Amino acid sequence: MNKNDKIALSEDVFFPLFPPQSVIPVRGEGCYIYDSDDKKYLDFAAGIAVTALGHAHPDYIKVAKEQMEKLMLVPATFITEEKLYSAQLLADNTCFDNVFFTNSGTEAMEGALKLARKWAYETKGPDCNEIVAFHNAFHGRTYGAASITNKSQSQPFFAPYLSGIQFAHFNDINSVKDAISDKTAAIVIEPVQGEGGVTPADKDFMVALRALCDEQNIALIFDEIQAGMGRTGTFLAHEQFGIEPDIATLAKGLGAGFPVGALVAKKKFGAHFTPGSHGSTYGGNALATKLAGFVMETILADGFMEHVSTMGQRLTAGLEDIKRRTNKIEDVRGMGLMIGVDTTWDIATLRNALMEAGLLTTQAGANTLRLTPPLIVSADEIDEALHIIETVLRSQDT
């Protein structure tokens, strides 16, 4: 069966949720992917900030094989060495005390919403169940997560969503003040809005938001699913703002390719999850948590975060140079190796042209090019990506 036959078959057997790509990836190595025609692509998508350690990392593969030969899954009521070790790594290296492992980011967000509402119910009263989220946010596709995602307002066919959801404007503290009430249980925010165009929060806004939550006794939830795990140049993204959330959600880079997420919270909040409040069949399985532990050890190793920051600065500076030289880039923004680029090109046309030239990227928001390479990306690979981007952008003039 040739490539075109496979693409045609995919249109028959898959739900039509994604337009079929013209590339069929078959293997990866480091920061590169090879397709069914053995064409090589520099991967600056990384599964949307997932493959933090690149493809086919030899030590990652070794850890996975060894764990699969020992133990993969037992009922979640059991403590395993792998789960305990990974939870302790999170507790020792963050401001959080309690950990619950999930299979995905959206599951972690479901747990965060339940935890915040149970905390508010038991400490502030049964009517205190409202959640404040932000326009242009994205938190997942399950019902709770979708309810606090701005997209819910444009997808009425999935209604009814969760009630008690208010939306504020990102980086606008007065908008948040207008949205809260004595019924507000929690405020949920991404430190860098991913699907919202890779837009970072302002530090002054974040400091004011933390102060507001303290003043009003509101739980502050950080969605670090995309921005956490070293992506911004610190282990967790909230460290960039000098504040601490009460609850946070993690995923994507935590497993570096294997499905795993985590809900983390300070003990004041975590203590409200008691037996029967929440659970998972696959969440916290031995294989997933063993790999999460390996990933965290790697990210926390000396020099790793500095490398991310240095490569992020190199990528951002290079894009700014292209902006000055070509007038084809309108804006560059982001943190670390999570970069958004607005250009004069239509986003679909640009992404296809970049892919044809050997660079894989993703779209964020209406018309933003998102660059989220593996965190192990080298200076030479950054320069290669910049060369491809500039060449493609300049081709519009020919």
DSSP states of 52-73: TT-BS-HHHHHHHHHHHTT---
Residue-level pLDDT at 397: 65
Say if pTM beats, i.e. exceeds, 0.95. Answer: yes
Q: What is the pLDDT of residue 370?
A: 98
- What lies within 8 Å, CB to CB, of 240 at 6+ separation is 191, 203, 232, 233, 234, 335
pLDDT beneath 70, residues of the chain? 397-398
The domains located in the chain, with CATH, are: 3-56+303-397 (3.90.1150.10), 71-300 (3.40.640.10)
From the list 131, 191, 209, 211, the residue with the least C-alpha distance to 163 is 131
In the numeric block, which tokens belong to residue 238? 């909230």
Q: What is the structure's pLDDT at 398?
A: 47
Residue 248 CA: distances (Å) to CA of 191, 279, 299: 11, 17, 18
Q: What is the pLDDT of residue 154?
A: 87
Predicted local distance difference test score (pLDDT) of residue 251: 98
- Number of neighbours of residue 19 by Cβ within 10 angstroms: 8
- In angstroms, the CA 352 to CA 369 distance is 11
- pLDDT for the residue 150: 85
**Per-residue pLDDT tens digits for 248-303:** 999 999 999 999 999 999 999 999 999 999 999 999 999 999 999 999 999 999 99
Place of tokens 């503290």: 173
